[in-house]
Amino acid sequence: MTTRTPLMAGNWKMNLNHLEAIAHVQKLAFALTDKDHEAVEVAVLPPFTDLRSVQTLVDGDKLKIKYGAQDVSAHESGAYTGEISGAMLAKLSCTYVTIGHSERRQYHAEDEAVVNAKVKAAVKHGLTPIVCVGEELAVREAGNQVAHTLAQVDGALEGVPAETVSGLVIAYEPVWAIGTGKVCGEGDAQEVCGAIRGRIAELYDQDTADKVRIQYGGSVKSGNVAKIMEQPDIDGALVGGASLDADEFVKIVRFRD
C-alpha cells in the first residue's frame, strides 16, 4: 500500500510583503521541529515578490520548509506583460505552484484549457502543480459537485502522462467554502476526494491513483483539520486565511496532536 506524506500548504494570496514574509517564515521555522517535518511536508505559497526573500532564508538556514508560487504563465517567455514563467520559478528553486485556484478562474477567466497549459508549463520546468478544482455553491446545491469537479480534473490532466500525474497534488476546494468560514463536512469532502482518486485510476491506473496527493481546501483551521485529515482520500490541506497566522498554521501542521 502506498503511504502518502500529508502536505500542508499555506496559500498567502495577496498578503505579506517581502519583509513580512521573512518574519513569517522565521516564525514558522522556529516553531516547527524535526518531528513535525518527518510527519508532514510543510509549504508556503507567497506572492511572487516574496519568493527571492523566502528562497534566501530557506537556503541560508537550511530550512525544511518548501515554497512555491500561486500561479505560472502558460507561456515560455516573451511579450506577456505581467506574467511569470515556469523557468523563472524553477530558477528560484520553487517546489510547488498552484494552478487553477478558484480566484484565478473567477477573476482571470481561467478555463480548463488554460489550466491544462499551465500544468504542462510547470511540469516542463520541474515544478509540482497543486491543481485546484471544486464546485460553486449552485453546483453543490444541484448535487452536481462530483461530476463538475471530475470534469475539471479531466481538463487539467489532458495529455499529461501517468508518471507526471503520480507526483502531482490536486486540491479539492469547494468555492463556497473558500474564505467564507463555511467548511465542507468531512464526509462531503471525502466523497469528492475519493471520486477524484477513482477518476485518476480510470484515466491512468491504480498505482498512479494511489500515489497522487489530494488536499482539501476551504476554511481549514486548527479546530477542524483533524476530522478532515481522518478521511482516507485526503492527504493534506491547502490553507488560505489561517496560514497567515504562524501559530495557527503550526497547529494545523500538528493536526495529529
Residues of this chain that interact with ligand PEP (CB under 6 A) are: 11, 13, 173, 178-179, 217-220, 238-242
The nearer residue to ligand PEP, 134 or 155, going by C-beta atoms, is: 134
As a whole number of angstroms, the distance between CA 129 and CA 99 comes to 6
**Cβ distance to ligand PEP smaller for residue 200 or 238:** 238
- Nearest residue to the partner ligand PEP, using Cβ: 240
Q: Within 13 A of 10's CA, how many CA atoms are on the CB side?
A: 30
> Reduced to 3 states, what is the DSSP secondary structure of residue 66?
strand
- Strand, helix or coil at 172? strand
Active site residue 101: yes
The grid cell for 189 is: 469532502
Catalytic residue among 101, 103, 135, 248: 101
Name the active-site residue from 41, 110, 135, 173: 173
Looking at residue 144, its amino acid is: N
Q: 45 or 209: whose CB is closer to ligand PEP?
A: 45
Residue 75 Cβ vs ligand PEP, minimum distance, rounded to whole Å: 24
User: What's the min distance (Å) between Cβ of 71 and ligand PEP?
Assistant: 12
Least Cβ distance, residue 133 to ligand PEP (angstroms) = 11
The answer to the question of whether 217 is labelled as a binding residue is no
The DSSP secondary structure of 191-252, one letter per residue, reads: HHHHHHHHHHHHHS-HHHHHHSEEEEESS--TTTHHHHHTSTT--EEEESGGGGSHHHHHHH
Contact 237, 216 (CB under 8 A): yes
Q: How far is CA 93 from the centre of its chain?
A: 17
Q: Is-catalytic flag, 191?
A: no
Tell me: is residue 124 an annotated ligand-binding position.
no
Question: Min. distance of Cβ 101 from ligand PEP in angstroms?
Answer: 6
For residue 222, say whether it is annotated as part of any ligand binding site.
no
Known catalytic residues?
Answer: 101, 173
Binding region: 11-13, 179, 219, 240-241
Binding region for substrate: 11-13, 179, 219, 240-241
